[in-house]
């Protein structure tokens, strides 16, 4: 199971953050990454708390022949194509694509690939959509289920399901 986190809190050339996230899913498919399933969209407050706009977040399970390193490079390339400029950590962004898990691999390369994503277990805006599409998922290191991880989240992470848009 390969899982990607998707988020945005600034508009892009594709429109609102939600439209940007939806366009990112289409771009992944255009570039050879099949979307197996995707969660609904959630809205979350920035983490850590700041005065920047709220985020739109979701999680997708994908299928691809790309290696983990090549997939991460592709995600970064799509972010740049969507106008993301990497600056300060946790800054507002037009698009954020995170490789959350790649078939349960555990990898840590300084300044590079880290699997599972180092903050996957602590973020409600990742775990809630992840539980929606992959309730059987277990953290590759702790072996905790997504439900157990959700139960252990720190209070104060504001996340709400967004209503479907009429398309």
CA angle 11, 133, 101 (to 5 degrees): 80
Q: What is the pTM of this model?
A: 0.94
* Domain locations along the chain: 2-161
Convert the pLDDT of each residue in 37-85 to its tens digit: 999 999 998 876 778 899 999 999 999 999 999 999 999 999 999 988 7
Take residue 84 and report the two structure tokens written for it.
Answer: 């993301």
The predicted-structure confidence for 89-117, as pLDDT tens digits, reads as follows 767 789 999 999 999 999 998 878 999 99
Residue 132 and residue 14: Cα distance in Å, rounded? 26
Cα radius of gyration rounded to whole Å, the chain? 15
Residues 6+ positions from 125 with CB-CB distance below 8 Å: 7, 42, 44, 47, 55, 57, 157, 159
CATH superfamily of 2-161: 7,8-Dihydro-6-hydroxymethylpterin-pyrophosphokinase HPPK (3.30.70.560)
């Amino acid at each position: 199971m390969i899982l990607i986190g998707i988020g945005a809190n600034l508009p892009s050339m594709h429109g609102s953050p939600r439209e940007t996230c939806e366009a990112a899913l289409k771009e992944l498919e255009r570039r050879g990454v099949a979307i197996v399933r995707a969660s609904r969209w959630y809205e979350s407050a920035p983490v850590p708390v700041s005065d920047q706009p709220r985020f739109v977040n979701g999680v997708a399970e994908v299928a691809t022949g790309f290696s983990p390193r090549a997939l991460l490079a592709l995600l970064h390339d799509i972010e740049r194509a969507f106008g993301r400029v990497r600056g300060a950590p946790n800054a507002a962004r037009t698009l954020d694509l995170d490789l959350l898990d790649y078939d349960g691999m555990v990898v840590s390369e300084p300044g590079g690939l880290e699997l599972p994503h180092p903050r996957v277990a602590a973020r409600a805006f990742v775990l809630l959509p992840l539980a929606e599409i992959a309730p059987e998922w277990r953290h590759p290191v702790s072996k905790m289920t997504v439900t157990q991880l959700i139960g252990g989240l720190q209070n104060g992470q504001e996340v709400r399901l967004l209503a479907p848009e009429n398309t």
